C-alpha cells in the first residue's frame, strides 16, 4: 500500500507527525501542515508574516513577489522519488520563461525579497541547488549569511516562526555563522556533490558546479561597470556563468541600471523570440502626465506619484537627485545614462535637421574646415572638408556641403582650393598636424595656378585624449538646441553614418570620424547666443564701414607687406584684421 504524502510535502505523513511533535509551534497538526503549504506557495505571506519583513507592503511589493512566479509541487513527492522527477517538476513551474530580469529602485527591498524567494525554493524542494552570484564577494557573503540566518537557531534562543514550522531545516552554530555553503538538513538526496546554496563574485574563478537556480543579484556594480571596456569584460564573464545552469533550471537577474550598454541593457537587446525574458522594471517615482516635459530638478512633490513613500519619500529622493542626477537616474529611476564623456547621435534626430538648399540662409559668413589625413592608403582615415554658413542672428550653423576622400598631398591641395573657389569662404580652417608644411606648399602652388584666394588658418587643436570628443560633443548640444542643420546632398548618408557610429569612447578608436571632426571645427565660428536684432539702416551702414575698412587694410598689406616667398593669402596664425571674426572668442588664438 503506498505511503500517503500531503500536498507539497517531500516526507510522508508519518514522518511529519514526528517532526510536528517537536516543533514547539503550539499548532494542531492540520494547522501546521496548512501553514507550511502556504509558505511554499505565497511568497508575500512568507516574507511578511513568517520571516518578519513588516516594511514590505502589499501595494508596493506584491508585484515583485508575483514576478518570482508561483511554485506548486503538489503531488511531486512519493516514497523513493528520484532527482529526475524533481528536475522535471522544477522545469514545469514556469515553462514559458526560463529567465527573468527584475530592475527596481535601490533601497526598495528587491534583494530582501529575492532572499525570501530562495527560502521558498528550499522549502518546496530541499534537494534544489541554488547558486547566487554578485558583483562583489563581500555582498555575496552577506547574502549567504542572511539566508542562513533564517534557518540558524543560536544555542538557547527560542525558535522563530519559520523554525517552528520547519524544524527539520534548522542549522546549528557551526553551520549558521560560517561563510561556507548552506547544506540543507532537510535534504533527501544527500548524494549530490553540490551544496544546497552557495555564493560567489562574478569576478571569481567559478568551479564547475551545476545548479537548478542561478540568481544574479547586483552583478552590475559601480566597480565593475565604470567604462565600456569593464562592462564588456563583465558581460563576457557573466555569460560564461550560464554554463553552470542545467537546462531545466531558471536564471534570475536582479539589480539597477548603470549605463546604456551595461549587462542588463545588452540582455534586453536580444529579441524575445530568440531568448524569452520575463521583464519587470520600475522607477522610484512616476511623473504625472501634465508635468512630463519639466526638467527633473524642477519637479515638485505634487507632480509625481511615489512608488514607495513609506521608505523612499520625496525628501529622500530629492536629496539623492540634487547630489548626483546621473546616479539618481540610474539607481532610482532605472534610466541608464551614457558615459559622461560619451557622444551619442541618433539618426532620426540627425535626419530631422535636414533641409533643402533653398531653405538654408543666403546671408551670413561662409566658412570651411578641413580635417585631413597625411596618407592616402586604403586603410587611412579620410580627409574631410565641411562648408558651413553661420547665421549669427540665430546662432545657427548650416552645413552646405561635405567632401571627403583619400587623397595624396597634391590631390588634397586641389580639393581644398577647388572647394574655396566654389564657395568663396571668409575663412578656411585647417587642422595643423604632421606634414602641414608640405600641404601648405602644395596649396600655395595650386592657389597661384588657379588664381584662387585661400584665406587659410592652420590651427593646432592639441592631442589631448578628449580634445576631439569634446569638440564633437558640442555638436550634440547644437542638435539638441536646434542650431545645427544639414543641407540635403549626396554626402548625407556617409555623414550621418559617421555621426551615428561615433561615440567618443576609446573602444571605438579606429572608426571613421573625419566628417564629424571637420563639422565640429566650424562651431568655433558660432556666437555663443543669437544676436539682438538691430535697426536695418544701422546694420547696412555698419556693413559698409566694415567693408571699406577691410578693403583699405587689404590694400595696405598688398603694398607694404607682400612676401613673394609665401602667398599673402595664407597664414599659420590668426589675424583679427583678416575678417570680421574675433577669434579670441572662439579659442583660436594662441
Q: How confident is the model at residue 581 (pLDDT cuts 50, 70, 90)?
A: very low
Q: How confident is the model at residue 563 (pLDDT cuts 50, 70, 90)?
A: very low
CATH 3.40.50.1980 is the classification of domain 347-533+540-586: no
- Torsion angle of the four alpha carbons 305, 261, 232, 132, in this order, in degrees rounded to the nearest 10: 30
CATH 1.10.1660.10 is the classification of domain 13-281: no
Place of cell 527573468: 100
Report d(CA 111, CA 495) in Å as an integer.
46
Identify the pLDDT of residue 323.
Answer: 92
How do residues 303-331 score in pLDDT, each as one tens digit? 999 999 999 999 999 999 999 999 999 99
Q: How confident is the model at residue 556 (pLDDT cuts 50, 70, 90)?
A: very low
Percentage of the chain surpassing pLDDT 90? 66
Identify the pLDDT of residue 511.
Answer: 55
Nearest by Cα to 233 from 211, 202, 206: 202
Nearest by Cα to 128 from 93, 90, 165: 90
- Spell out the domain ranges in the chain: 13-281, 285-331, 347-533+540-586
Q: Which SS3 state, helix, strand or coil, does residue 14 take?
A: helix
**Residue 30 grid coordinates:** 492540520
Percentage of the chain surpassing pLDDT 70? 85
Nearest by Cα to 287 from 274, 271, 299, 270: 299
Amino acid at each position: 500500500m503506498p505511503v500517503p504524502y500531503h500536498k507539497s510535502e517531500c516526507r510522508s505523513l508519518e514522518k511529519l507527525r514526528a517532526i510536528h511533535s517537536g516543533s514547539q509551534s503550539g499548532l494542531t497538526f492540520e494547522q501546521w501542515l496548512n501553514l507550511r503549504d502556504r509558505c511554499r506557495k505565497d511568497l508575500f505571506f512568507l516574507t511578511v508574516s513568517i520571516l518578519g519583513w513588516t516594511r514590505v507592503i502589499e501595494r508596493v511589493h506584491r508585484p515583485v513577489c508575483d514576478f518570482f512566479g508561483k511554485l506548486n509541487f503538489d503531488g511531486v513527492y512519493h516514497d523513493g522519488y528520484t532527482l529526475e522527477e524533481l528536475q522535471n517538476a522544477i522545469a514545469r513551474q514556469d515553462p514559458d520563461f526560463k529567465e527573468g530580469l527584475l530592475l527596481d529602485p535601490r533601497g526598495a527591498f528587491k534583494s530582501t525579497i529575492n532572499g525570501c524567494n530562495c527560502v521558498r525554493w528550499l522549502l518546496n524542494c530541499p534537494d534544489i541547488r541554488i547558486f547566487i552570484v554578485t558583483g562583489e564577494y563581500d555582498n555575496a557573503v552577506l547574502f549567504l549569511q542572511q539566508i542562513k540566518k533564517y534557518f540558524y537557531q543560536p544555542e538557547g534562543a527560542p525558535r522563530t516562526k519559520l523554525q517552528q514550522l520547519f524544524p527539520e531545516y534548522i542549522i546549528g552554530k557551526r553551520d549558521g555563522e560560517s561563510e561556507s555553503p548552506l547544506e540543507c538538513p532537510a535534504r533527501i538526496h544527500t548524494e549530490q556533490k553540490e551544496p544546497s546554496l552557495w555564493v560567489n563574485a562574478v569576478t571569481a574563478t567559478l568551479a564547475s558546479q551545476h545548479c537548478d537556480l542561478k540568481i544574479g543579484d547586483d552583478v552590475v556594480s559601480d566597480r565593475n561597470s565604470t567604462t565600456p571596456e569593464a562592462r564588456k569584460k563583465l558581460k563576457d564573464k557573466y555569460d560564461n556563468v550560464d554554463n553552470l545552469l542545467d537546462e531545466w533550471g531558471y536564471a534570475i537577474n536582479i539589480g539597477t541600471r548603470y549605463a546604456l550598454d551595461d549587462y542588463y541593457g545588452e540582455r534586453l537587446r536580444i529579441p524575445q523570440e530568440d531568448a524569452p525574458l520575463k521583464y519587470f522594471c520600475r522607477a522610484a517615482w512616476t511623473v504625472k502626465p501634465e508635468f512630463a516635459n519639466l526638467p527633473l530638478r524642477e519637479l515638485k512633490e505634487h507632480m509625481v506619484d511615489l512608488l514607495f513613500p513609506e521608505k523612499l519619500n520625496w525628501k529622500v529622493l530629492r536629496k539623492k537627485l540634487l547630489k548626483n542626477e546621473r546616479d539618481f537616474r540610474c539607481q532610482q529611476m532605472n534610466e541608464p545614462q551614457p558615459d559622461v564623456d560619451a557622444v551619442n547621435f541618433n539618426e532620426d534626430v540627425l535626419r530631422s535637421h535636414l533641409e533643402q538648399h533653398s531653405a538654408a540662409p543666403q546671408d551670413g559668413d561662409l566658412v570651411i574646415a578641413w580635417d585631413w589625413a597625411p596618407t592616402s592608403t586604403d586603410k587611412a582615415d579620410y580627409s574631410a572638408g565641411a562648408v558651413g554658413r553661420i547665421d549669427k542672428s540665430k546662432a545657427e550653423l548650416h552645413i552646405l556641403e561635405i567632401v571627403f576622400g583619400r587623397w595624396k598631398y597634391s590631390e588634397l591641395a586641389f580639393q581644398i582650393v577647388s572647394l574655396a573657389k566654389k564657395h568663396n569662404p571668409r575663412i578656411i580652417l585647417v587642422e595643423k598636424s604632421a606634414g602641414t608644411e608640405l600641404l601648405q606648399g602644395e596649396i600655395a602652388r595650386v592657389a597661384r595656378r588657379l588664381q584662387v584666394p585661400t584665406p587659410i588658418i592652420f590651427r593646432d587643436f592639441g592631442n589631448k585624449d578628449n580634445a576631439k570628443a569634446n569638440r564633437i560633443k558640442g555638436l550634440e548640444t547644437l542638435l539638441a538646441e536646434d542650431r545645427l542643420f544639414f543641407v540635403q546632398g549626396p554626402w548625407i548618408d556617409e555623414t550621418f553614418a559617421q555621426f551615428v557610429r561615433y561615440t567618443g569612447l576609446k573602444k571605438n578608436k579606429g572608426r571613421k570620424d573625419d566628417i564629424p571632426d571637420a563639422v565640429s571645427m566650424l562651431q568655433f565660428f558660432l556666437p555663443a547666443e543669437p544676436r539682438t536684432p538691430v535697426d536695418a539702416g544701422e546694420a547696412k551702414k555698419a556693413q559698409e564701414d566694415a567693408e571699406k575698412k577691410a578693403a583699405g587694410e587689404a590694400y595696405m598689406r598688398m603694398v607694404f607687406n607682400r612676401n613673394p616667398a609665401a602667398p599673402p593669402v595664407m597664414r599659420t596664425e590668426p589675424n583679427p584684421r583678416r575678417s570680421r571674426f574675433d577669434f579670441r572668442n572662439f579659442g583660436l588664438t594662441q
